[in-house]
Structure 1
């Protein structure tokens, strides 16, 4: 039971840490041109909250399904790397004004998610399925960042 709380606390710290370091309400970011079809931007924080909850539950399942002799430290390190890369997206984009940097960290996090989903499947199919929201949204978010680069080439990358 204690491990659940530790994993949840670390996950929450990483989730909120990226938000505390910077805000996507920054005037520079808000003034970026967006594609006309992006009418649901206000829902994106809810999407990410759902994705984050799924990843946290997946990590807890993997930890609890493993034996004490074979704790999946490498897998949990990959969960942490995914969370860290995801949480630094906003600071990289806003503080460094680097959409390209955001696209790179977002794409890398998505790649790690695909690898993790494959590696976790033998431990728990449910834990593996919990990667599906990220696996679907990650490429979309990376593509959207690429589009922002294309639409805002005059601002810099």
Structure 2
């Protein structure tokens, strides 16, 4: 039970830490031209909360299904790396005004999600399937950032 709370707390700090320092509500970011099809932007924070819940449950399942002798520290490190990359998106985009940098960290996090989902599958199929929301949204988010780059040439490179 203690491990569950510890994983949840660390996951929340890593996953949402970037939002404590930077907000995508920044006037510069809000002033960027957006694609016409982006009618669901108000849902994005809720999407990320859902993704965080799924990845945190996945990490807990992997931790609990591992034997006490062979705790999956490398896998936990990968979960942490995904959370840190996810959290880095906002500061990179807003503070450095780099949509390109955001696209790189978002794409890298998504790639790591696919790799980690494959690696945890032998431990827990459920933990692997819990990556599906991130795997889908990661592609959409990375594509959306690429579209923002195209719609705002010379801005955010």
Residue 62 (structure 2) aligns with: 62
**Cα deviations by residue, 1:14-35 (Å, 9 ceiling, x for unpaired):** 2331111101110000000000
Residue 102 (structure 2) aligns with: 102
Alignment of 1:85-124 (within 5 A): 85-124=85-124
SS in 1 for 2:109: helix
- What stretches of structure 1 move > 4 A for 4+ residues in a row? none
Looking at structure 2, the residues matched to 155 and 80 of structure 1 have their Cα atoms a distance apart, in angstroms, of 30
Looking at structure 1, the residues matched to 137 and 55 of structure 2 have their Cα atoms a distance apart, in angstroms, of 13
Looking at structure 2, the residues matched to 65 and 155 of structure 1 have their Cα atoms a distance apart, in angstroms, of 47
Alignment of 1:129-140 (within 5 A): 129-140=129-140
TM-score (norm 2): 0.98
Alignment of 1:1-157 (within 5 A): 1-157=1-157
Looking at structure 1, the residues matched to 156 and 117 of structure 2 have their Cα atoms a distance apart, in angstroms, of 35
Shift of 1:156: 3.9
Q: How many residues align?
A: 157
Looking at structure 2, the residues matched to 76 and 115 of structure 1 have their Cα atoms a distance apart, in angstroms, of 13
Give the RMSD, CA atoms, in angstroms: 0.7
Looking at structure 2, the residues matched to 91 and 105 of structure 1 have their Cα atoms a distance apart, in angstroms, of 11
